[in-house]
Structures are given as structure tokens and as C-alpha cells.
Amino acid sequence: MDLLKIAQVSPLYESVPPKYYGGTERIVSYLTEELVRQGHKVTLFASGDSVTQAQLISPCQQSLRLEKNFIDQMAYHLLLLEWVLKNADRFDIIHFHTDYMHFPLSRRNVVPQVTTVHGRLDIPELIPLYKEFREMPVVSISNAQRRPLSWINWQKTVYHGLPKNLYTFRKERGEYLAFLGRISPEKRVDIAIEIAKRTGMEIRIAAKVDAVDQEYFKAVIKPLFKNPRVKYLGEIGDKEKDEFLGNAYALLFPIDWPEPFGIVMIEAMACGTPVIAYRKGSVPEVIEDGVTGFVVENVGDAVKAVESRIQTLSRKQCREVFEKKFSATRMTEEYIKVYRRLLNKTIPLLEEGHINNGRDYPNQRPVLYSSNIIPD
């Protein structure tokens, strides 16, 4: 099968992969590295502190969240899009992960492109925007994510995937409950603490606090840490997550918003750790109720799951479901199908020489700041 020249375009807020928290950039990394492993020629547009086997082009030397001196973050994203479009004729397809920011430019460019929508879509302001750019091909990360805008140009739902060797399977059940991610009103760490309190189990919380949620954290969540069974660890990285999730009794995911996917659920499954999650957003699609965890309606149901139901689940089966449904290889294969379908729709453009002009670029991986054109 012909190999493809692919551009992956990441947001600049986090490096690829992120040093700590970061869902979108993490998935961009797993997809990019698997595409490279399969032999495709991949260029990654991302922050300069990204680590990749692909060719890296970056408009900024460091991810925006870690650089405290950046004032106008949009400036770098506009520069990012300009550099992508300057190089567009070098690719068979461009895969954007930057929401709708590129739509006006992509409408005026002949190179096939697709966008994975990583965020929530139940926002009224998105309706007129997607009506205007209704032709833009988009990929959802869950079927639930699509519902508010079911009429736009959906190509496929592609569930996120992780490298199979990223997390360690642990067959022994741990003794604490885990909460991993971000502390914010919609993530409901307060409910997770209440579940743990009612069961009498220790809960360990590994989570970041964004600037916008600092007041909520101080007023609502921090006082709950006075309970000696509540252990707050702060933000942790991938290496720490492996042990944190793998040694847990269960992961608590009592969200109160339409979660588009929820990577932490499959991270737990990769370790063999079952998940207890509220029936919101993508949860019923990701968790097989009674197999990889339990989908619950309220605190009482969650407490029952912890106290009497979790021990009926097989940690080995949690891992098996992860390997079958949520591997990076499976995710990548599904994206390649999307790429080829879009390319087949534009065969005349390929024949006319708009794409794939026969020029190649080397396999070295420079980070380019002064020159934003891929070298011959």
C-alpha cells in the first residue's frame, strides 16, 4: 500500500507529548509516532519542546502553558497556520487538531485536509460557524460528541488509542481509589471525595488546577483535603501515572459535563484498573458496564460499585478490552482509512499535480525557527 506524506498540526499550549496534563497533544503524539513507525512520511507542526520521530516544524520554542512570558498566545497559532499553508503542497493530506481555527484558510487551499474535533460541541456560538463551513471534513472522538452538531460533515468516529507498551498491566487490585486529571467544577473531584468518604477508602488525587479554576479550588476543594484519607498529589507525568493508576483499586470518574472522550478511562483500563464513571458524554461508549467498570447515576450507585461490585470484575479483561478497542495501532489504522477516503475523492487534483509533486524531504528532524519551509 502506498505510503503517505502527512502533516499533523497540533495546538501549541502543550508540547507533543505533554510534559504533564494534556489530552489533545498526547493523542497527536501517539498518532504521529505510529504513523512514522508504519513508514509514512510525517511532519509535525507543534511547539519546539516536542519530542518526535517525525520532522518537527515549530513557530515557538516552548509550549505556551510553560512559558510564563507569552502574552498573546493567538499570535503563535496564526503563525503556525501560515507555516502549515506555506508547506501545504508538500503533503498528501493535512490533519488538523486545532479546532476550527484553520477553516477559512483550508477552504481556499486545494490540499485534502481533515480535522479531529477534540472539544465539546454543545456551545451555541458554534452553530453559525459550522453552518458557514459545513463542507469541512471532521472526525469525532465519540458518537456522543457529535450530537449537538449531528448535521456537519462527519467522516468517522475514531476513539482515542494508546501505545500498548505505555502502561503496565497489574493483576493485583490496589487499596485506594484514584482520581486523575483536572480539578474543575465539571470534573467533580468533590463527588469523588464523597464516594471515597462513604466507603471508608483512601482516595489519591493527581490533578492540575488551571488558572481559571484557582478560586474554585481554594474555596470548594482544598478544604476537603483536611480529611486524612484524602491525599492530594498535584499534577503528575506519564511515568508516575503508570504506578498511580496501576496500583489503584478503581478509578473514579464522576463527571458532570458532556465529556467528548476521557483518556484517563482507557489509561486505567490499560493498567487493568476498572473505572466507576457517571453516565455523561462518552462514558457509555468507552466503559463496558460490568466488564471494564460500572456506569452509575449517582453517589449511592458508585458506593455500591466500590463496596460490592468491583471485586467481580477481571483486571485481565480490562486490559484485553483496552488492547482490542483502544490501542494506538487501531486508532492509526482508522485514521489512515479516513485519509485514503478523502484522497480518493480528490484523485483529479492528484493527477493535475496539485499534491505530491514528486519532491521529497529528508528524514532528519530539525526544529525550524528561522526558516519555515521544509528543505529539499
Cα distance between residue 61 and residue 317, in whole Å: 42
What are the residue ranges spanned by the domains of the chain? 5-161+327-368, 176-325
Structure letter (DSSP) for residue 237:
-
Sheet containing 250-253, strands listed edge to edge, beginning at the edge strand earlier in sequence: 230-234, 202-208, 176-182, 250-253, 275-278, 293-296
Structure letter (DSSP) for residue 350:
H
Count H helices, E strands: the chain?
14, 14
Q: Which of 239, 332, 285 is nearest to 36 (CA)?
A: 332
Residue by residue, DSSP assigns 157-174 as: E----B-TTSS----S--
Cα distance between residue 44 and residue 258, in whole Å: 29
Q: Which residues contact 37 (CB under 8 A, 6 or more apart)?
A: 53
Q: Is the dihedral of CA 144, 258, 328, 94 positive or negative?
A: positive
Contact predicate 94/4, CB 8 Å: no
Q: Which single residue is written with the C-alpha cell 458557514?
A: 132
pLDDT in tens, the chain (376 residues): 689 999 999 999 999 998 877 789 999 999 999 999 999 999 999 999 999 999 999 999 989 887 777 788 889 999 999 999 999 999 999 999 999 999 999 999 999 999 999 999 999 999 999 999 999 999 999 999 999 999 999 999 999 999 999 999 999 999 999 999 999 999 999 999 999 999 999 999 999 998 899 999 999 999 999 999 999 999 988 789 999 999 999 999 999 999 999 999 999 999 999 999 999 999 999 999 999 999 999 999 999 999 989 999 999 999 999 999 999 999 999 999 999 999 997 533 322 332 333 333 333 333 443 344 444 3
Nine cell digits for residue 289: 458496564
Residue 65: its pLDDT value, please?
81
Cα distance between residue 282 and residue 264, in whole Å: 12
Cα distance between residue 117 and residue 137, in whole Å: 10
Cα of 245 vs its chain's centroid, Å = 18
Residue 370: its pLDDT value, please?
36
Q: Is the dihedral of CA 138, 139, 141, 143 positive or negative?
A: positive
**Helix, strand, coil percent content, the chain, rounded in steps of 5:** 40, 15, 45
Nine cell digits for residue 249: 483499586
Residue 176 — left, alpha, or beta (φ > 0 → left; ψ -120 to 50 → alpha)?
beta
Nine cell digits for residue 122: 454543545
> Domain 5-161+327-368 belongs to what topology?
Rossmann fold (3.40.50)
Residue by residue, DSSP assigns 46-57 as: --TT---SSEEE
In terms of residues, how long is the chain?
376
Q: Which residues pair with 138 in a beta bridge?
A: 115, 154
Nine cell digits for residue 98: 486545532
**Cα angle value 60/65/66 (rounded, 5°):** 80
Q: What is the CATH number of domain 176-325?
A: 3.40.50.2000
Q: Which single residue is written with the C-alpha cell 498540526?
A: 9
- Alpha carbon separation from 55 to 50, 163, 260 (Å, rounded): 11, 20, 29
Residue 323: its pLDDT value, please?
97
17: preceding bond cis by omega (within 30 degrees):
yes
Residue 360: its pLDDT value, please?
34
Cα distance between residue 198 and residue 369, in whole Å: 54
Work out the burial of residue 297: count CB atoms within 10 Å of its CB; fewer than 13 is exposed, 13-18 middle, 19 or more buried: exposed
Residue 286: its pLDDT value, please?
98
